[in-house]
Structure formats: structure tokens, C-alpha cells
Chains A and B, each alone.
Chain A
Amino acid sequence: GAGVSQTPSNKVTEKGKYVELRCDPISGHTALYWYRQSLGQGPEFLIYFQGTGAADDSGLPNDRFFAVRPEGSVSTLKIQRTERGDSAVYLCASSLTSAGTQYFGPGTRLTVL
């Protein structure tokens, strides 16, 4: 079956702009996660959804970052007033349940000029 998909695969934006990154989880997976990966580092947790609600947003670095999952499936990560330090690969993962194996998408590479 289809895995986790993310769009766009690459996004280049200018400092100060607003961006939206989309994640389509594996069908039927109730849990969805966003991570951020900088070059040479492991992924770092941002936010976790169980169904439509954000169960843990402790990893969001500041209030410029926001994520939604209105229907419990697709999720959008939104970044306002982007900064050069936001440049990274943003990874999405989903799992059947909150205790299940997390399967990752290919990521969106965000570059802020």
C-alpha cells in the first residue's frame, strides 16, 4: 500500500514569508508526527497528533510554528515569518496507534533564503 507522502518535496522561500507543508499519512493511521532534521543530525520531534487533536506540541520551537489535522488524516505544518534557521528537512511520520511503529515520509526540504 501507499506510504506516507509529503508535498512539496522541496520548498524555497524568502525570509519573512509564510509556508505550508503537507503530510498524507498511511490510510487508517490515527497517530501523526512531525519532526525536523538538520544536516548531519537525527530527526527532532516537533508535534504529535492523535486523531484531530495535538496530543503533544512540546517540540514546536516557537509560536511561528503551527500544525493542524482537521479531519484526522492529512496534516499541514505552517510556519510564519520564516527565518534562515528554519531551513531543514521536515519529516512526517504516522503510526497505526500511538504505541505503534512510526513510518516516515520522504520529507520536505525547506530552504529559507
Chain B
Amino acid sequence: GESVGLHLPTLSVQEGDNSIINCAYSNSASDYFIWYKQESGKGPQFIIDIRSNMDKRQGQRVTVLLNKTVKHLSLQIAATQPGDSAVYFCAEKNGANSKLTFGKGITLSVRP
């Protein structure tokens, strides 16, 4: 069946280090992928997205990598800050549907 999952439930990093959050997806028809950040008591906040015709996209301090061969998505955060502490979700959709399918989320904890 269709699923989007994350390899690790929690990730603890030192402030200033780079963070890498990984995600596996199983729907080969997916053509659009998004990373959201969710802080406690708030809704998911858009971070960055990537379409299937790309393998890398950069934003401010964040980079998303897409490997369609192994159905893997990753989010890299440079110089991680305390404000980056949150739960991160990857989500996917395919062109035939507008709904997003989310994974379970991974908690990023930044140590001062």
C-alpha cells in the first residue's frame, strides 16, 4: 500500500551542527514532496518542497534531496539552531490527487 515513513523517531543534535532527517516513501507515482515543521500546539509549517523532476533543491539553511531510485527523501538543516527544535514531517502526493500523505514524524532536539 501507499505509505510515507521516517527511519528514526527522534534526532538529537548539537547546536551549530548540521542535521539530516530521512524519509522513505513507497508510492512510485508520487511526483511532489514536501517537508513540514510542526511546533507544539501549532499547525504544520511549510519548509521546502521538491518535484520529482529534480533531485536537489536548496532554501535558506535547508536542502532537500530526492532519490527516486530508492524512494528516499532527506532534509538537511545547516547550522542547526534551538529554534529548529520541532517535529518534522515529510509528505507526498501524486498529480492525480491533491491530498497529502504524511509520515509519522521525527522529533528534532537541539542541544545547546
Q: A residues touching B (Cβ–Cβ < 8 Å)? A: 4, 31, 33, 35, 40-45, 48, 50, 55-56, 58-59, 91, 93, 95, 98-99, 101-107
- B104 in the interface (beta carbon within 8 A): yes
The interface on chain B, measured as residues whose beta carbon lies within 8 A of the other chain's beta carbons, has a size of 22
List chain B residues, Cβ under 8 A from A56: 97-99
Contacting residue for A107 out of B34, B43, B45, B46, CB 8 A? B43
- Per CB-CB distance, the 8 closest pairs between chain A and chain B, nearest first, are A42-B102, A104-B43, A45-B99, A98-B98, A104-B44, A106-B43, A42-B89, A107-B43
List chain A residues, Cβ under 8 A from B45: 104
Q: B residues touching A (Cβ–Cβ < 8 Å)? A: 4, 34, 36, 41-46, 49, 89, 91, 95, 97-105
Could you tell me the distance between the alpha carbons of A29 and B72 in the complex, rounded to whole angstroms?
Answer: 31
Could you tell me the distance between the alpha carbons of A105 and B99 in the complex, rounded to whole angstroms?
Answer: 16
